[in-house]
């Protein structure tokens, strides 16, 4: 899910083929039309955010193994929020550096090696 969010809201404009690629699906998969529609909706959201004139961005930054910062991160519902973050499932959404939606993070113990 984190990779799909990154394909939709990361630095590059979203494309259906990228969504399919992160899911490990071929270009002609039956999900291709849904991936294209999802990408179009994400692009529309990005354009609407840009039209406000306010600086807005989706934040995927996370240092694995560090504790969650409650003001802009929260554990994924099935995760123990007292454990350190491992990877981002859904990015934080910030407008003018104000958090409108916190990051959703998978937490857990680091596995060496």
Q: CB burial class (10 A; 0-12, 13-18, 19+) of residue 46?
A: middle
Q: What confidence tens digit (pLDDT) does each residue in 44-75 have?
A: 999 998 899 999 999 999 999 999 999 999 99
Listing from the earlier edge strand, what are the strands of the sheet with 103-107? 73-75, 103-107, 85-90
Pairing of strands 103-107, 73-75: parallel
Domains identified in the chain and CATH numbers: 1-51 (no CATH), 54-113 (2.30.22)
pLDDT for residue 39: 93
What percentage of the chain has pLDDT greater than the value 90?
A: 61
pLDDT for residue 41: 94
């Amino acid at each position: 899910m984190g990779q799909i969010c990154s394909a939709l809201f990361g630095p590059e404009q979203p494309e259906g083929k990228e969504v399919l690629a992160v899911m490990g699906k071929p270009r002609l998969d039956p999900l291709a039309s849904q991936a294209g529609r999802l990408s179009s909706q994400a692009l529309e959201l990005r354009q609407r955010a840009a039209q406000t004139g306010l600086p807005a961005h989706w934040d995927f930054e996370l240092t694995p193994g560090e504790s969650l910062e409650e003001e802009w991160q929260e554990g994924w519902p099935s995760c123990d929020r007292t454990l350190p973050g491992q990877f981002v499932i859904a990015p934080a959404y910030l407008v003018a550096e104000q958090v409108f939606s916190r990051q959703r993070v998978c937490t857990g113990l680091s596995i060496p090696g």
